[in-house]
Structure 1
Amino acid sequence: MSLVQKSPEVFLAEGPIAAVGQAEINTLKAAVKASPKRRARINAHPDGDDSLHEMIIAIDSSSYIRPHKHPGKSEAFHIIEGEVDIVVFNDDGEIERVVELGPPGGARPFYYRMSNAFFHTLIIRSDLLIVHEITNGPFRPGASVFADFAPEDNDATKAAAYQADLVRRVAALQDAAA
């Protein structure tokens, strides 16, 4: 299998059979370091019109992922490396749930699936997160709905302040539940 780089953040696994191993993970790790958004992915699906989208995604802990939802889609993660808190919100920005994930063999679950469209974001708890994400296609640019309660990702100062406050809010919830 060969990878074709489609952009600084996107690689395509060419051919009818995709196999991802350590060499491909190393390619993603290098791409993350060079990416302005500090994330990169390998698409195992051939194109955006495919009915099933599978991606191996690497995300640096400094990457801001604006809370968003995907109407009409499901989303599932299987952790390959690292730890993450998936923060699920109501439409007003209140935290509804935090799903703590880690690699197989650890104390945290390593898999989650969200079957309804909820606003969500990630708090990456390790230096780097690598996940296998599965969602239904087709991909339509602009179909994701971004939360009005969170800043856009093009304002680094506001995004960093929001993320820091979110980390504080999640820690308070986790402390209260302990």
Structure 2
Amino acid sequence: MSNCFLDASLLDELVAKARSVPRLRSHHNLHLESTEPAHRLLVAIEPDSYVRPHCHLDPNKSETIIPLRGRIGALVFDGEGKLLEARVIAPEAGSFGFHVPAGVFHSIVALESGTVFIEIKAGPYAVPLPAEWGQWAPAEGEPGVAGYLAEMKGAFTAA
């Protein structure tokens, strides 16, 4: 059997795994090594998963997210944490992807259970620098995460 095809069973496995782990996210790398020049991965994310606002300072590290299932709330911030734009990303919403240039602070929230997307960005993987994290937002595991996640989701209450 070939590993060339990506199908619903792979997405189902990713969703089940995401629902069973504390971060409520799981991924399946399509690239073989973290040193490869292009990173492509499938990511399953549940609504209570927190993705801290961040940017990629390397000018070669733009990021593209395209949902395969579910709905994503995409957020863009200025360097001080002011929300500049929030948009629902889902083919049926008329917005099929989220392309973030290097240096732009952003985050996502899952707006429905079972959300899966493909993420594409340049490799190799580099541990984020302190300046790449939105200092106005709590880090994963810190007090205030639930409140900040609720604020981010609140940008989509009418969506």
TM-score, L = length of structure 2: 0.88
The one-letter code sitting in structure 1 at the alignment partner of 2:13 is T
Is the Cα contact below 8 Å between 2:53 and 2:133 reproduced in 1?
Answer: yes
2:150 to 151, 160, 164: 164
5+ residue gaps in structure 2?
none
1:121 aligns with 2:107: yes
Task: State the Cα distance separating 1:80 from its structure 2 match.
Answer: 0.2
- Could you say which residue in structure 2 is the equivalent of 1:77? 65
Q: Distance in 2 between matches of 1:35 and 1:132?
A: 19
1:85-111 per-position Cα deviation (integer Å, ceiling 9, x unaligned): 111000100011123201x3x133112
- Could you say which residue in structure 2 is the equivalent of 1:86? 74
Q: How does 1:3-152 map to 2 (within 5 A)?
A: 18-72=4-58, 73-102=61-90, 104=91, 106-143=92-129, 145-152=132-139
The one-letter code sitting in structure 2 at the alignment partner of 1:148 is Q
5+ residue gaps in structure 1?
3-16
Is the Cα contact below 8 Å between 1:32 and 1:39 reproduced in 2?
Answer: yes
- Could you say which residue in structure 2 is the equivalent of 1:13? none
The one-letter code sitting in structure 2 at the alignment partner of 1:52 is A
- Count of residues in Structure 1 that have an aligned counterpart in Structure 2: 156
Percentage of pairs with the same residue: 24
For the structure 1 residues 51 and 36, does the alpha-carbon distance in structure 2 shift closer, same or farther, using more than 3 Å as the test? same
Is the Cα contact below 8 Å between 2:71 and 2:110 reproduced in 1?
Answer: yes
Higher relative contact order (CA 8 A, sep 6+): 2
The one-letter code sitting in structure 2 at the alignment partner of 1:21 is D
Task: State the Cα distance separating 1:171 from its structure 2 match.
Answer: 4.7
Is the Cα contact below 8 Å between 1:38 and 1:60 reproduced in 2?
Answer: yes
For the structure 1 residues 141 and 108, does the alpha-carbon distance in structure 2 shift closer, same or farther, using more than 3 Å as the test? same
- 3-state SS of paired residue (2:138): coil
- Could you say which residue in structure 2 is the equivalent of 1:153? 140
Task: State the Cα distance separating 1:127 from its structure 2 match.
Answer: 1.6
Task: State the Cα distance separating 1:162 from its structure 2 match.
Answer: 1.0
The one-letter code sitting in structure 2 at the alignment partner of 1:61 is P
Larger radius of gyration between Structure 1 and Structure 2: 1
Q: Distance in 1 between matches of 2:41 and 2:129?
A: 18
Q: Distance in 2 between matches of 1:86 and 1:28?
A: 21
Q: Distance in 2 between matches of 1:114 and 1:161?
A: 25
TM-score, L = length of structure 1: 0.79
Q: CA RMSD in A?
A: 2.1
Is the Cα contact below 8 Å between 1:18 and 1:44 reproduced in 2?
Answer: no
